[in-house]
Amino acid sequence: MYQLNAETNQLEKIEETTFFENDLKERDHIQEWIRKSPEVLGEDLLIIGCEYDKFEINERIDLLALDKEGNVTVIELKRDITGSQVDFQALKYASYSARLSPSDLIEIYSDYITSVGIEVKAEEKLVEFLELEDEQQLHTYLNTSQRIIIVGKEIDKRILSVCTWLHENGIDVKCISIKPYKLSSEQIIIDTNQILPPFKLEDYYISKKEVKKDRQRTTDEDVVEFLQAVSDFINSKTDYVASYGGKRDYFKGHKFLDYPWAFVFAYKKKENKASMFVESTDEETVQMIQQIGEGYKSGLAEQFNAKVDFRPGVRNKSLLRLAVEIEYTDDQPLAERIDKFTNTFVKYKNFLEHTVKKDYQV
């Protein structure tokens, strides 16, 4: 890692250090960093348990989380080198978690938010995070599969070998390094890096293991291919981040421009339509969306050759979206549909960046 010396226009190396040398501990520091900011692991995660130990055996999971698809995610942390047993440990915890019912997970999350003083209702927060229509859907979406994320300063080669084999055989496992760098006597930079699976390989791992029929969800293969290609393009060709999980006909990106709004991408194959929109429930941001739409909607429709309109929330009345809808012909190839969609996204993103900077940032 390097920092730029503006005076000399040279890169100066930042020296790597250790957690031990800086008295940074696994439980008090690393675990807390990830608990409070799970996005440092490279995806949207909701922490639902910390040091969870309510299984029949006396063992403790460092962090228990849900991903955007409702999969239970076991996060196993090691301050320094992971050692050769952490893979088996994580697999044990994932197997224990597989037995957790949706009701169990709601109870675990309720206990967690109470313990850390978060004033939300568990069911409402889960519905919001998973972007569901109502609480009843939680019993369909929660824990259809389990995942593992192993985090450590150095990942043992034996662990990488085992995790590679697990991933290639359908077990969703990640290995992420977390390293400290000394910027000055008082400043430390923390860098995280996904080692396994490599990002380009991971983009094509869409399928998850089968789940019970009464809780299994399927998505048309063309829809999956379309949205996966859109996600790949966004993450590799732009500075925005939006990961598709392969199970729905839409997906949501990260926060945009440091405002509480985000892009959502959807593909309705049967209707020959695809849409992208920014949405928010924040009162001030909703007002900004309203003003941008009222001022530029007709011009955008002409520029994008697409329908542009407002879409208020159905159940959540505080939600507002500014949507761009693209229509396709019956005989239009999938590749052309994807190109048209991604090109429109670039234009829409550039427009919003320019407009927000010009009209809303001092």
CATH number, domain containing residue 299: 3.30.1460
252 and 333 within one domain: yes
* Closest among 29, 104, 105 to 67, alpha carbons compared: 105
Picking from 153, 175, 202, the residue at the C-terminal end of a domain is 202
248 and 175 share a domain?
A: no
Residue 80 has a CB neighbour count (10 Å cut-off) of 12
Residues 11 and 79 in one domain: yes
Does some domain include residue 143? yes
Q: What is the structure's pLDDT at 210?
A: 46
Give the number of domains in the chain: 2
**H-run or E-run covering 257:** none
Same domain as 229, residue 177: no
Residues 132 and 255 in one domain: no
Residue where the block lists tokens 């959807």: 266
- Which DSSP letter does residue 8 get? T
Cα–Cα–Cα angle for 78, 236, 46, nearest 5°? Answer: 40
Any domain includes 85: yes
Q: Do 91 and 56 belong together in one domain?
A: yes
Query: How confident is the prediction along the chain (362 residues), in pLDDT tens digits per residue?
Result: 888 889 999 998 898 898 988 889 988 999 999 999 999 998 889 999 999 888 877 788 999 999 988 999 999 998 776 555 677 888 899 999 999 999 999 999 999 999 999 888 999 899 888 888 778 888 888 998 999 999 988 888 888 888 889 888 888 999 999 999 988 777 899 999 998 887 654 444 444 444 444 444 456 889 999 999 999 999 999 999 888 878 788 888 888 998 999 999 999 998 999 999 999 988 999 999 999 999 999 999 999 999 999 988 766 778 899 999 999 999 999 999 999 999 999 999 999 999 999 988 64
What amino acid is encoded at 213 in this protein?
K
Residue 34 located in a structural domain: yes
CB-CB contact of 13 with 6 (8 Å):
no
Which domain range does residue 156 map to?
A: 2-202
As a dihedral over the C-alpha atoms of residue 137, residue 142, residue 145, residue 150, rounded to 10 degrees, the angle is: 140
What is the pTM for the complete model shown?
0.62
> Do the Cβ atoms of 304 and 355 come closer than 8 Å?
no
- 94 neighbors 172 (Cβ within 8 angstroms): no
Q: What are phi and psi of 118, to 5 degrees?
A: -90, 125
**CA–CA–CA angle 58, 62, 67 (5° rounding):** 120
Alpha-carbon torsion, ordered 338, 342, 343, 345, to 10 deg: 140
Q: Is 210 within a domain? A: no
Which amino acid, one-letter code, is at 275? S
pLDDT of residue 264: 93
Q: Can you tell me the distance from the alpha carbon of 252 to that of 275, in angstroms, rounded to the nearest whole number?
A: 12
Rounded to 5 degrees, what angle do the CA atoms 272, 275, 281 make? 145
Residue 122 included in any domain = yes
Domain match, 188 and 291 both: no
Residue 184 belongs to a domain? yes
**Listed residues 202, 236, 252: the one ending a domain:** 202
Rounded distance, CA 118 to CA 174, Å? Answer: 28
Task: Give the C-alpha separation, 218 to 3, whole Å.
Answer: 47
Q: Looking at 202, 227, 260, which one is the last position of a domain?
A: 202
* Pairing mode, strands 72-81 and 146-154: parallel
| Distance from the Cα of residue 164 to its chain's centroid | 22
CATH code at position 119: 3.40.1350.10
Judgement on whether residues 236 and 345 belong to the same structural domain of the protein: yes
Q: Are residues 296 and 249 in the same domain?
A: yes
Query: Same domain, yes or no, for 138 and 229?
Result: no
Residue 118 lies in a domain: yes
- Domain shared by 170 and 298, yes or no: no
Q: Are residues 315 and 192 in the same domain?
A: no
Q: Which residue has the tokens 């919001």?
A: 128
The answer to whether residue 208 sits within a structural domain is no
